[in-house]
Amino acid sequence: MLFHRIPGDPQARFYISRCKYCGTKYVKIANKTAFCSDECRCKSKQDSKARYQRKRRKLIRDGELVSNENNYVGTGFLSKHRRTNFKDEYLSILKEKRRIGVAF
């Protein structure tokens, strides 16, 4: 590679750096770059999100974190009309109580 540097220009510095994702060497033109390509940047972001979700699911499964992603209006198991079978109605009420985190 051939780089043209303007003498005395502090902005025109090039560094050899290692990619945070794959470890290959690349020419670091901007100070903020940490990855050798957009592909490595995207894959690193995917891995980071996957690690976060695995950790979050484990905390929810162990009971240390209460998930509230289903606590939106209109996502409940109860309908406007009562069910004719008492057992089905009772089970749907219990299911809804578990969903919103209410314990009597």
pTM over 0.75: no
Claim to verify: residue 58 and residue 76 sit in the same structural domain: no
Claim to verify: residue 62 and residue 21 sit in the same structural domain: yes
Number of domains in the chain: 2
Mean pLDDT of 3-12: 60
Nearest to 47, CA basis, from 70, 63, 55 = 55
Claim to verify: residue 62 and residue 75 sit in the same structural domain: no
Claim to verify: residue 44 and residue 75 sit in the same structural domain: no
Claim to verify: residue 75 and residue 28 sit in the same structural domain: no
pLDDT in tens, 53-98: 999 988 888 877 777 665 555 556 677 777 788 888 888 888 888 7
Beta bridge partners of 28: 15
The pLDDT, as a whole number, for residue 93 is: 83
| Residue 2 belongs to some domain of the structure | no
3-state secondary structure of 6: coil
| Residue 52 belongs to some domain of the structure | yes
Task: Check: CB of residue 18 under 8 Å from CB of residue 27.
Answer: no
Where in the sequence is the domain holding 26, given as residue range(s)? 12-67
For the cut 90, the answer to whether the pLDDT of residue 35 exceeds it is: yes
